[in-house]
């Protein structure tokens, strides 16, 4: 293909990429606007009281009025989420590398990671609160929920390396560390990033569940406690406002991790390269 043809192909791919990105942003916003508008009209048409179903405008007003309390609680929850996510990422990737280097270790410990994943965190949280300080127990719940997706995806990615390429590395006398760094980790990167995208949202879920189980008031209370507190007091507009903040936080976390994944994979992996057609 000539240089002119390659340039044309690149331009077409870039145009298509921008069009796809615009659609991914605009279409969800249109659907969101329709849902919010229908919600507002329904509340006004049926004249529903705020304790039954607050209107979006009332939820927004409550969010502005209670921003000081809600934002402070949100920061507490996000800090716990970030800490749990980092621990899950480091621990999951590190343990997956150990599993890949020793099948004996993998066969011995991987089933326990599965057991940890399938046990509901809502059942684990009260037990952790007995033996651990409150904040540490909340952090442990966030880590437990986020840990397994990273471990499972990284393990799968490291075990899915092309055996022909691995044999080629061995033929040239590459050491195990060189094979891991130059072949296995780059090949497993899409799987690792997929696990991290899942873990980001799950860390937030784990933190919220643990905060509700803890149920402790005070300056260190997370946003989940504010939701439970609002429900007890029938302050439904504040509950919706806190829930909206949690949902928005989850979307932002996922968007950041997805953007990082696209940036790292866009030039070479099929999952991030836009087709030409």
Structure confidence at residue 246 (pLDDT): 93
Q: Which of 119, 120, 141, 115 is nearest to 129 (CA)?
A: 141
d(CA 3, CA 187): 30
Contact 249, 204 (CB under 8 A): yes
Contact between 146 and 154 under an 8 Å Cβ cutoff? The reply is no
Residue 260 to residue 277: CA distance in whole angstroms: 25
CB 266 within 8 A of CB 13: no
Q: How many residues comprise the chain?
A: 277
Q: Which CA distances in Å does 83 have to 65, 77, 118, 204, 233?
A: 29, 10, 22, 10, 31
DSSP code per residue over 160-209: TS-HHHHHHHHHTT--HHHHIIIIIHHHHHHHHHHHHHHHHHHHHHHHHH
pLDDT at 131: 87
Distance in angstroms (rounded) separating the CA atoms of residues 217 and 221? 6
What global pTM score does this model have? 0.84
Which pLDDT tens digits describe the chain residue by residue (277 residues)?
454 554 545 555 556 666 766 777 888 889 999 999 999 999 999 998 988 899 999 999 999 999 989 999 999 999 999 999 999 999 999 999 999 888 899 899 999 988 888 888 888 888 888 888 888 888 999 999 999 999 999 999 988 887 888 778 877 777 887 888 888 888 889 999 999 999 999 999 999 988 888 776 554 578 888 888 888 888 999 999 999 999 999 999 999 999 998 888 877 655 555 544 4
Residues 6+ away with beta carbon under 8 Å from 28: none
Task: Please give the pLDDT value at position 7.
Answer: 53
């Amino acid at each position: 293909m000539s240089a002119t043809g390659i340039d044309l192909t690149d331009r077409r791919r870039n145009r298509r990429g921008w069009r796809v990105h615009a659609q991914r942003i605009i279409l969800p916003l249109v659907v969101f606007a329709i849902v919010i508008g229908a919600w507002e009209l329904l509340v006004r048409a049926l004249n529903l009281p705020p304790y039954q179903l607050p209107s979006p405008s009332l939820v927004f007003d409550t969010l502005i009025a209670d921003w000081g309390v809600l934002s402070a609680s949100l920061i507490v929850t996000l800090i716990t989420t970030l800490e749990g996510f980092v621990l899950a990422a480091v621990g999951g990737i590190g343990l997956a590398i150990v599993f890949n280097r020793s099948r004996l270790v993998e066969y011995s410990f991987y089933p326990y990671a599965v057991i940890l994943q399938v046990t509901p965190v809502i059942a684990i949280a009260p037990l952790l609160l007995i033996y651990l300080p409150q904040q540490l127990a909340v952090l442990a719940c966030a880590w437990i929920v986020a840990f397994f997706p990273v471990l499972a995806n990284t393990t799968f990615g490291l075990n899915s390396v092309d055996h022909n390429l691995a044999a080629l590395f061995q033929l040239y006398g590459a050491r195990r560390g060189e094979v891991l760094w130059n072949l296995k980790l780059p090949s497993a990167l899409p799987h690792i990033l997929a696990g991290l995208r899942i873990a980001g949202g799950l860390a937030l879920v784990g933190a919220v569940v643990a905060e509700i189980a803890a149920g402790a008031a005070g300056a260190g209370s997370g946003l989940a406690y504010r939701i439970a507190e609002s429900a007890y007091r029938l302050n439904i507009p504040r509950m919706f406002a806190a829930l909206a903040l949690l949902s928005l936080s989850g979307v932002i976390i996922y968007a950041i991790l997805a953007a990082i994944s696209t940036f790292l994979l866009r030039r070479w992996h099929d999952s991030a390269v836009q087709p030409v057609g």
